[in-house]
């Protein structure tokens, strides 16, 4: 029985699981998208969200905690067949990703299913991605439009109730219109109305 045992075993030892999780999240921070299986992506998503939450804090203890959990791997790019160091994983996490998600309270990553299958074991492949800064603003705009639609829907529902009240008040308005027509009929046609000059 697995009572109160969180997480997936992934058919690995505990040390192998920790190394797998670190490597996947480090690659995710470096490249901002990773292709892997669904089980590994779900397990890595939790850890990546925790790392970004630490980066949003931005303090020295948070940075040290992130180094202890994740390690501080170098980001290396190849230019003209030479390896060039572009920074570190922790540096990118705290300087770029932390400030990017200051307005978000969670949900920094997403999982997209792919139609591809792995050749060796026919495993279902997915993309684990970081949500971009422009997409965060688009989601806020969508949330605003949803709120507006709700308000409009409520406003449409309320006038139906008020139309019955207006129907009750309309006979008085009709009586006022008839009395004004009678008063206009009593005026001589040669005199212009004072209301028309205004």
Lowest-confidence segment of 21-30, 112-121, 138-147 by average pLDDT:
138-147
Does 94 score more than 60 pLDDT? Answer: yes
Q: CA-to-CA distance for 93 and 99, rounded, in angstroms? A: 9
User: Where does residue 132 rank: exposed (0-12), middle (13-18), buried (19+ CB within 10 A)?
Assistant: exposed
pTM above 0.75, yes or no: no
* pLDDT tens-digit readout, 9-20: 999 999 999 999
Strands lying side by side in the sheet with 124-130: 33-37, 124-130, 109-117
As given in the structure block, the two tokens for residue 91 are 């540096």
According to DSSP, the residues that pair with 117 across neighbouring strands are 124
Task: Supply the DSSP symbol for 95.
Answer: I
As given in the structure block, the two tokens for residue 101 are 């998600």
* pLDDT tens-digit readout, 35-53: 999 999 999 999 999 999 9
């Amino acid at each position: 029985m697995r009572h109160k045992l969180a997480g997936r075993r992934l058919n690995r030892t505990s040390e192998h699981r920790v190394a797998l999780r670190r490597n996947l999240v480090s690659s995710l921070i470096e490249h901002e998208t990773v292709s892997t299986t669904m089980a590994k992506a779900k397990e890595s998503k939790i850890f990546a969200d925790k790392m970004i939450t630490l980066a949003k804090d931005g303090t020295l203890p948070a940075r040290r905690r992130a180094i202890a959990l994740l390690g501080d791997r170098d980001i290396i790019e190849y230019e003209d067949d030479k390896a060039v160091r572009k920074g570190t994983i922790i540096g990118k996490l705290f300087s770029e990703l932390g400030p990017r998600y200051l307005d978000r309270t969670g949900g920094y990553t997403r999982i997209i299913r792919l139609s591809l299958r792995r050749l060796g074991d026919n495993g279902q492949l997915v993309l684990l991605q970081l949500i971009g800064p422009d997409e965060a603003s688009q989601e806020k705009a969508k949330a605003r439009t949803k709120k507006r639609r709700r308000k409009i829907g409520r406003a449409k529902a309320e006038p139906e109730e008020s139309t019955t009240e207006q129907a009750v008040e309309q006979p008085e308005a009709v009586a006022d219109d008839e009395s004004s027509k009678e008063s206009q009929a009593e005026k001589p046609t040669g005199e212009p109305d004072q209301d028309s000059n205004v």
